[in-house]
Amino acid sequence: MIEIKDLHKSYKTGSNSLHVLKGINFNVAEGELVSIMGSSGSGKSTLLNILGMLDEADSGTYKLDGVPIKNLNEKIAARYRNKFLGFIFQSFNLINYKTALDNVALPLYYQGMKRKERIEKAMAYLDKVGLTPWAQHLPNELSGGQKQRVAIARALASDPKVLLADEPTGALDTKTSYEVMDLIQKINEEGRTILIVTHEHDIAEMTKRIVNLKDGLIIDDKKIDQVKALQHV
Ligand code: ADP
Ligand code: MG
């Protein structure tokens, strides 16, 4: 699903250059649930943003579902992003003046789906994350965990091949974090490929593979035998 070879990325600020990714190689097969770990500043978000086509590498190759991602014009890049990728962020990134339902339905509006159909679809995804009773509520009437579940429903609404989550539990307490991870595991069990950036070990242990980044390189990449699991309560 994801193939990257010798990926490099530097940030230039004035006359300084910061070499953040120093030759990353890794592949993710369809259906994997992978966490990317590393201390703050190790390049996790930079890597995820490149995988999410929100940023481009300086060199190296990236193939997503067999398609080389390079020098795409903004229109084609946006089309691939919509088709292939769903995003989940630490800060939820919901639209505050729209209800949970309308937040989930928004990506479907951009796909040109008719109102009746997108409301039906959005309701089905809200149901999947256990939020049917909250459909007409605004984000500020929801708890952090509920907001993240709305964001997950929104990410799923466009039926992406890959879900990318940057510190999805970073703003949540432990119990709520585990509930969100339980939902992510459930979505993965249905076959969806998911990558999660985290710096928390207990969160990484709820994935099936942990990739460790340090100083711009992968220093460890291991499959987890005993995945820590709740019971999708
Ligand atoms: P992580 O997500 O692992 O904390 P990041 O990928 O966000 O790390 O950042 C890696 C390094 O690159 C950090 O030192 C950060 O300050 C720097 N950095 C990130 N984004 C930019 C940017 N847009 N411009 C300049 N430097 C950046
Ligand atoms: Mg980060």
Residues 6+ apart with CB under 8 A from 104: 122, 125, 126, 150, 153, 154, 157
**How far, in Å, is the centroid of ligand 1 from the Cα of 210?**
21
**How far, in Å, is the centroid of ligand 2 from the Cα of 41?**
7
Tens-place pLDDT, residues 8-65: 999 998 889 999 999 999 999 999 999 999 999 999 999 999 999 999 999 999 999 9
pLDDT of 225 reads: 83
pLDDT above 70 as % of the chain = 99
184 touches 231 (CB < 8 A): no
pLDDT above 90 as % of the chain = 86
Tens-place pLDDT, residues 190-233: 999 999 999 999 999 999 999 999 999 999 999 998 888 877 65
Look up the pTM and report it. 0.94
Residues 6+ apart with CB under 8 A from 58: 8, 9, 10
Domains, the chain: 2-232 (3.40.50.300)
pLDDT of 73 reads: 87
**Residue 39 alpha carbon, nearest atom of ligand 1:** 3
**Could you tell me whether strands 59-64 and 2-13 are parallel, antiparallel, or unpaired per DSSP bridges?**
antiparallel
- DSSP letter at 143 equals -
The residue contributing the CA closest to ligand 1 atom 1 is: 41
Mean pLDDT, the chain, whole residue set? 94
**How far, in Å, is the centroid of ligand 2 from the Cα of 132?**
31
Tell which wins on pLDDT, 146 or 79.
Answer: 146
- Report residue 202 as tokens: 């207990």
**What torsion do the CA atoms of 42, 44, 47, 48 make, to the nearest 10 degrees?**
-170
Of the ligands numbered here, which is closest to the C-alpha atom of 49?
Answer: 1
Collapsing DSSP to helix, strand or coil, 50 comes out as helix
Residues 6+ apart with CB under 8 A from 71: none
Of the ligands numbered here, which is closest to the C-alpha atom of 216?
Answer: 1
